[in-house]
Structure 1
Amino acid sequence: MEDNRNDLDNLYDDDDYGQPAAAPEKSIRGYRIVIVILSVILVALSALYYGLHRQQMLDNELLQADRDSIQNDLGRLMVDFDNLQITNDTLSTHLGVERNRADSLMARLKKERSWNLAKIKQYEKEVGTLRSLMKGYIRQIDSLNTLNKQLIDENVSYRKEISSARLRADMAEEKAAELTNKVQVGSVLKARDIRLTALNARSKPVSRIRNAERLLVEFTLAANELAEPGNRAIYVRIISPDGYPLTTEAMPTFEYEGERMSYSAMREVDYQNQDLAVGIYYNSSGLTAGVYRVELYSGGRHIGQAQVAMR
């Protein structure tokens, strides 16, 4: 009996009192381990979140900087487009098209809300394309300006040459005209030694003009190598003391400086560039004493005159 009781006591000692004492200590240790693991995981997650958040902020800042840089580049490019001075119509049309592309791109940039690296690259490429086109236009404009300057310089040179040639031509023409005028003036016949004599019916000189039946005008056509030789018509106008030209009933006329003038008598002579004595008669009577003026004309030119006092 005692042996059985001892066995029972030992049984209770092992099952009822030994095991319950060890269980709480193990549970606490397990909780601590779990808490530590969770804390480590939380710390790791916090660090990871902070890192991702920081990286995202950095990425957003870089994207914003890239966006601002693209907008600034595009803005400067648009100003360059506006500052281009061009007169070529075709090139100006193309330039206007590219300027509209730049306006459209700027509008898209300002409206863009979802930015990423791919879009940044796309916008950078489009701005780069516009800038390359701008450089091409600048080269073409510089080339056109250089060519235009060369043409202007050549035009100025040609104008100077033309002006110089025209001046020489004008001077030559003026000299030719002057020479022609001198030749024409020099070729005009000149009458000298003009005399007026009163004659009777028998062509004898009389001392009193009231006794005259005719008048004789005598003169010498001077030698002139420049004058054209050949037959010449010589017209005589005898102006009476009262200022009227003496003429016949037929009142013949000749042309002088665009006007018709009456004359007293006319004679044709053969002039051969040497001194030629000429006498021309005018038949009239009833003349009065006084100062008479004798005028001679030939070839539409006035070739001489003289005043003679008649008694």
Structure 2
Amino acid sequence: MVILTIVLAALLLIAVGFGVTQVASLKSQVQEAQLENEELKLSNEQLQLSNEFDVLNAEFQQYEDQAQRLANDTILAKYTAAKAKVEQLMQELKSEKVKSQARINELQKEIATLKSLLRHYIAQIDSLNKENAGLRAENQEIKSLNERLSSRVQEVTRTAETLSERMTLAEKLNVTGVSLTGLKKNGKTEKNITKAKQLMVTFTIPQNNSTPVGEKTIYLRLVNPEGQLLGGVGSFSFEGKSIPCTARKSIEYAGEEIPGVKIYWDVNTTLTPGDYTVELFTDGYRLTSRHFTMKK
């Protein structure tokens, strides 16, 4: 009986020792599993945060080419600093065998800061783009207005030039009824040009209220069939040049018609049959240029 009791006591001690060992082992396994689970959880959080960071960078790169427009902006400086901090934290966590919840929390905080800064940054870029779009539209409107004004100025200028030309032409002295006649020594008509002793140019000055009144000097140029100027009593100015003339006559013009104005040239050379040119000038204008066939 005593022996049986001793055996049972020994077995009980062995069982208790084995149970304690099993419990300790199981507890250790649970703790290891918890640690692995916690590390896995932290790794997943880090991976999620890394993905968020990649998305933020991709979005930022869409606006990076516009960074020069905000080169002095504090938001951009803060974003760059926060981005550097995130990259540093991620590098640290990659090198750690056991993840740190405190560092993960810090990374979450920095990425949240990045999100906020990026939203503000994009809002500023959008606002600037809208402002620039408004300015471009305004500039285009101003450009269009300037083009219309320039076109209008050109049109008014052309109109003014046309009116000026018309006014100038309206002031020009006119002549009508121009004729060339050969005369005998006694002043009668000589039809044979080779016998003429004098050539007479006759014309009428019509009424013109637009022509300035006063003394007018009318210059006559007679050109023979050979293209030579007949006679010569000086010269006059025309289109910036000094032009020789055959004869000249001064008249007093009062705006009224002056009929039968005559200018004479005494023949001093041999005249030949053919086409003679008569030109009359005054006040810097050519009043007429006519051709007359003189026969033998």
1:286 maps to which residue? 269
Matches within 5 A, 1:90-129: 90-92=69-71, 94=73, 95=76, 98-99=79-80, 102=83, 105-106=86-87, 108-112=89-93, 113-114=95-96, 115-129=99-113
Deviation at 1:218, TM superposition (A): 1.7
Distance (Å, rounded) in 2 between the aligned partners of 1:241 and 1:131: 100
- Give the deviation of 1:90 after TM superposition: 5.0
Query: Which position in structure 2 is the counterpart of 1:15?
Result: none
Residue identity matched to 1:262: P
From 251, 272, 284, the equivalent of 1:300 is 284
Residue 221 to residue 36, structure 1, CA distance change in 2 (3 Å) = same
- 1:186 is displaced (CA, Å) by 3.2
Larger Rg: 1
How far did residue 253 of structure 1 move? 2.4
Aligned-pair CA distance for 1:103 = 5.4
In structure 2, relative to structure 1, the CA distance for the partners of 1:261 and 1:240 (3 Å cut) is same
The yes-or-no answer on 1:75 pairing with 2:54 is yes
Paired-residue identity, %:
23
Assess, with a 3 A threshold, how the Cα gap between structure 1 residues 45 and 227 changes in structure 2: closer, same or farther.
Answer: farther
CA distance in structure 1 between the partners assigned to 2:103 and 2:221 by the alignment: 111
Cα deviation, residue 208, structure 1: 4.4
> Partners of 1:103 and 1:226 in 2: how far apart?
88
Query: Given the superposition, is the C-alpha separation of residues 25 and 88 from structure 1 closer, same or farther in structure 2, using an over 3 Å criterion?
Result: closer
Return the offset for 1:93: 5.7
Q: Secondary structure at the match of 1:84?
A: helix
Q: Which amino acid aligns with 2:8?
A: R
Looking at structure 2, the residues matched to 98 and 41 of structure 1 have their Cα atoms a distance apart, in angstroms, of 57
Cα distance in structure 1, aligned partners of 2:256 and 2:66:
73
Deviations 1:229-284 (A, max 9, x none): 33333211001122111132x6x222323333211112233323332232223233
Segment of structure 1 superposing worse, 236-245 or 216-225: 216-225
Deviation at 1:32, TM superposition (A): 3.0
Q: Which runs of 5+ in 1 are unaligned?
A: 1-20
CA drift at 1:204: 5.2
Letter in 1 for 2:267: S
1:78-122 residue CA offsets vs partner (Å, 9 max, x unmatched)? 111211165463514654773475356335513532321100011
For residue 33 of structure 1, what is the aligned residue in structure 2? 12
Task: Tell me if structure 1 keeps the 8 A contact 2:89–2:103.
Answer: no
Structure 1 residues 212 and 85: CA distance shift in structure 2, 3 A: farther
The answer for unaligned runs of 5 or more in structure 2 is none
Cα displacement (A) at 1:213: 4.1
2:248 pairs with 266, 282, 287, which one? 266
For 2:6 and 2:57, how far apart are their aligned partners in 1? 75
Amino acid at match of 2:87: M
2:212 and 2:81 mapped to 1: Cα distance? Answer: 82
- What do you get for the CA RMSD once the two structures are aligned? 2.7
Displacement of 1:178:
1.9
CA offsets per residue over residues 99-153 of structure 1, 9 Å max, x none?
4753563355135323211000111111111221111110001100111111111
Match of 2:163 among 176, 179, 196: 179
Query: Does the 8 Å contact 1:296/1:303 carry over to 2?
Result: yes
Shift of 1:193: 0.8
Pick aligned residue for 1:156 from 135, 140, 144? 140
Query: Cα deviation per residue 1:166-200 (whole Å; 9 max; x = unaligned)?
Result: 22222122222222222223332221111223345
Cα 1:96/1:234, change in 2 over 3 Å: farther
One-letter code aligned to 1:78 = N
Q: Contact conserved, 1:221 with 1:276, CA < 8 A, in 2?
A: yes
8 A contact 1:209–1:287 mirrored in 2? no
**TM-score, normalisation: structure 1:** 0.81
* Whole-angstrom CA distance in 2 between matches of 1:169 and 1:88: 43
SS at match of 2:172: coil
